[in-house]
């Protein structure tokens, strides 16, 4: 059943998600810039900006097909899965994509689907478990979610966020090493240690990682919102997400139970009563 979507509310949520994404990306850049300013001096912030721009421009784009082969995925041709290709064609046209994503089958019992690549060349992988569990409307909602990721260039956005996080980790490690080297000199000269600077060096990577996770969650919400707009069927996407969470949750519970059963006898002699 298709549900009408209030366009005004949709626009409010869409702009809110975009604003949150820009703010989180800005925070990731600020973390890296502050560390650059702290370690490299007055030109550190500018150096981080130049390095990031060069890294983004020189980073080679990985072929979606190569990424899919890492998951042992098999490309699905139109005659092998005509229904899936028809849905992808319709969703890609509604999303305004000039090139429709390639479809790949992943032989896994996990319930998962993911997108790789850019608007020019992209691919969507769907696991065997997902195909066998979801009905047609639910599967269409999941495919719309992945098409929305491609349309919004979320893969590129998260790539930039990951680059900022990596720069932050490297600078933090460099700063901690320099601090350890200079501790004897600081003690000898009885210099005052700025604990705020030390806290920034220690906790910046963790804060950056949490910000990256928040950005990922924001992009997921935005993809859900756009998927509903593409399909006009929020109930189907909600059912699909509920099924995935329920079945995957049960799978993880079984894994953790087996781990506890295996480890419990080993720990009996280590924990005093």
**CB-based contacts of 219, cutoff 8 Å, min separation 6:** 17, 21, 149, 152, 154, 157, 158
Match 């966020």 to its residue by tokens.
161
Specify whether the CB–CB gap between 35 and 200 falls below 8 A: yes
Active site annotation includes 146: yes
Helix axes 136-151, 82-95, angle to 10 degrees: 40
- DSSP per-residue letters across 1-50: ------HHHHHHHHHHHHHHHHHHHHHHHHHHHHHHHHHH-TTHHHHHHH
Backbone angles phi, psi at 166, to 5 degrees: -65, -40
3-state secondary structure (DSSP) of residue 211: helix
3-state secondary structure of 134: coil
Catalytic residue among 8, 146, 220, 235: 146
Residue 270, classed as helix, strand or coil, is coil
Q: CB-side exposure of 52: number of CA atoms within 13 Å?
A: 23
| Catalytic (active-site) positions | 146
């Amino acid at each position: 059943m298709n549900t009408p979507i209030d366009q005004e509310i949709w626009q409010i949520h869409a702009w809110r998600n975009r604003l949150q994404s820009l703010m989180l990306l800005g925070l990731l850049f600020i973390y890296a810039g502050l560390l650059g300013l702290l370690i490299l001096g007055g030109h550190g912030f500018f150096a981080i900006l130049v390095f990031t721009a060069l890294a983004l421009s020189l980073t080679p784009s990985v072929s979606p097909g190569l990424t899919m082969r890492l998951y042992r995925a098999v490309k699905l041709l139109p005659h092998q899965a005509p229904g899936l290709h028809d849905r992808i064609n319709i969703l890609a046209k509604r999303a305004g994509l000039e090139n429709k994503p390639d479809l790949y089958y992943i032989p896994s019992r996990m319930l998962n689907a993911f997108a790789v690549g850019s608007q020019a060349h992209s691919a969507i992988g769907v696991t065997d478990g997902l195909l066998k569990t979801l009905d047609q409307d639910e599967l269409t909602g999941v495919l719309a979610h992945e098409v929305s990721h491609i349309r919004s260039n979320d893969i590129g956005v998260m790539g930039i966020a990951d680059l900022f996080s990596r720069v932050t980790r490297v600078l933090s490690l460099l700063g901690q090493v320099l601090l350890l080297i200079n501790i004897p000199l600081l003690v000898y000269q009885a210099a005052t240690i700025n604990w705020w600077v030390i806290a920034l060096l220690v906790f910046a990577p963790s804060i950056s990682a949490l910000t990256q996770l928040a950005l990922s969650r924001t992009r997921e919400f935005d993809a859900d919102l756009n998927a509903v707009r593409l399909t006009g069927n929020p109930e189907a996407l909600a059912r699909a997400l509920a099924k995935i969470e329920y079945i995957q949750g049960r799978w993880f519970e079984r894994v953790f139970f087996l781990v506890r059963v295996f480890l419990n006898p080993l720990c009996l002699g280590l924990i005093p009563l």
